[in-house]
Amino acid sequence: MKIPPVKGTRDFYPQEMAVRNFIMEGWKAASIRNGFEEYDGPIFEHLKMYQIKSGQEIVEQLFHLTDRGGRELAIRPEITPTLARMVNQQINALPRPIKWFSIPRLCRAERPQKGRLREFFQWNVDIIDVDDPRADAEVIFTSIDFLRSTGLTTADIQAKISSRRLLAALLRSIGIDENKLESLYALLDKKAKLPCEAFEEMLAKEIPVKDQAERIRDLMEVTTIEDIPRIVHMNEAATAALDELKNVFSLLDLMGISDYCHFDMGIVRGLAYYTGMVFEVHATSGKLRAICGGGRFDNLLKDFGGPSIAATGMGMGDCVLEILLREKGLLTDSLATRMLDYYICCLDDELMSRAIVLTATLRQRGYVVDCVYKISSLGKQLKLASSTNARQSIILGQELIRDNQLVLKDMQSGNQRSIQYDHFLSDLSS
Ligand code: HAM
């Protein structure tokens, strides 16, 4: 019986694994460059972890299970709640500020589509206990720093930035009820993905007062920060939030990435826990979903029973990123799955045990080595050597029996030379 893979999952054959490693190594390098330390948590948590503050969308996409003890668990759809739990758990022992990164495997029961799967990897960087726009700017910088390192430019990607704090203050000044804010965020977050009429209909349902709905629509059409005070009455809270957002933009300018960064009132984010700056990076072509998204979540640690500590961060999935890198020709299919220093060819059954000894000796000295399993023609064995991307082949044949010599073949130039077995070993650098 043949069992197919589960819908929305991927198998990573060595070639796909090489791409995954390429992306992850880039993520790790960018994290380390920007001063983050790595952490991880379990792949499942108590179901209620995600029901506290992630929002309805995530709850609907949970893979959940009941263990034998009747505990309700869920496979992690994101790592931010785990981060909050872990930090709270050791809040007095951990040196702060905390700058942590992680690359968890996540599962969401979404309808699989281009760039969205049911299982994916997501790079997270988070800064905890820095109640300053510098941390927000640094999170955006780290994301762009990585994306730039792959070869993507301002022609390919843009960071769209806004503020939940500003939006909340503006909605309050329009007269929107406090308990409406969360569902309104979820709707406004979907605006760009919905047909106009569908959005209008849903907005009318959410905000039945026509004048308020009208003003929300006007607000969402604002294209520059400067226009905001012209459209809405700026109370004290809105002015403070606007100044804070302007500060983030000034810092991004100082960091030299302002060309990548744009204000966009339409960025609201789907998750419920954001409280301040919010951002997403999108491909400029606009056809793909967000490459990454994040923002400030100052209440999450408190919501998880900890102290009130500021936090900001982002998550970047591997799916949209890979599609974009391919589209832009920045990912070649020829990423090596392995690269050997030596491939050992053996032309005589009698020499196989010497081939095994030589392989073990070279491996012990730190070289990346493989050896043929079966005697075949030299041509066949050299083909195998090429397929392993070996830099050199070592050929054990008649010369070894006769004169204790092996043949060393440079796989790129094709040049070969004979060398005394003992000299070869003593010439090696280690
Ligand atoms: P999110 O917007 O749900 O945020 O996900 C962030 C990124 O993860 C998305 O932009 C996308 O690249 C990727 N992603 C999400 N769902 C899928 C999927 N089904 N398939 C493939 N990729 C996906 C969060 O998860 C927040 N916890 C990020 C964060 C960290 N905020 C603060 N710190």
Calculate how far, in angstroms, residue 78's C-alpha sits from the geometric centre of ligand 1. Answer: 7
Q: Is 347 in the pocket of ligand 1 (CB under 6 A)?
A: no
Which tokens in the block code for residue 334? Answer: 């020829």
Contact 372, 383 (CB under 8 A): no
Tell me the per-residue pLDDT of 10-35, one tens digit each, with 9 for 90 and over. Answer: 999 999 999 999 999 999 999 999 99
Q: Is 10 in the pocket of ligand 1 (CB under 6 A)?
A: no
Q: Is 102 in the pocket of ligand 1 (CB under 6 A)?
A: no
Q: Is 317 in the pocket of ligand 1 (CB under 6 A)?
A: yes
**Domains of the chain as residue ranges with CATH:** 14-41+79-327 (3.30.930.10), 342-429 (3.40.50.800)
Q: Is 117 in the pocket of ligand 1 (CB under 6 A)?
A: yes
pLDDT at 210 over 80: yes
User: What is the model's pLDDT at position 333?
Assistant: 66
Residue 73's SS3 state is strand
| C-beta neighbour count of 192 within 10 angstroms | 15
Query: Residue 4 half-sphere exposure, CB side, CA atoms within 13 Å?
Result: 4
What is the arithmetic mean of pLDDT over 409-418? 97
Calculate how far, in angstroms, residue 293's C-alpha sits from the geometric centre of ligand 1. Answer: 6
Q: What is the pTM of this model?
A: 0.94
Report in angstroms the alpha-carbon separations of 198 from 167, 187, 193, 290: 22, 11, 10, 21
pLDDT at 134 over 80: yes
Counting atoms of ligand 1 from 1, which one is nearest the CA of 126? 33
Output DSSP code: residue 150: T
Q: Quick one: 397 exposed, middle or buried, by C-beta within 10 A (0-12, 13-18, 19+)?
A: middle
| Ligand 1, atom 2, residue with closest C-alpha | 293
Q: What is the CA radius of gyration of the chain?
A: 28
Mutate which of 45, 103, 114, 120 for ligand 1 pocket (most atoms within 8 A of beta carbon)? 120
DSSP one-letter string for 347-359 = --GGGHHHHHHHH
What is the arithmetic mean of pLDDT over 193-205? 91
What is the arithmetic mean of pLDDT over 92-101? 97
User: What is the model's pLDDT at position 322?
Assistant: 97
Output DSSP code: residue 5: P
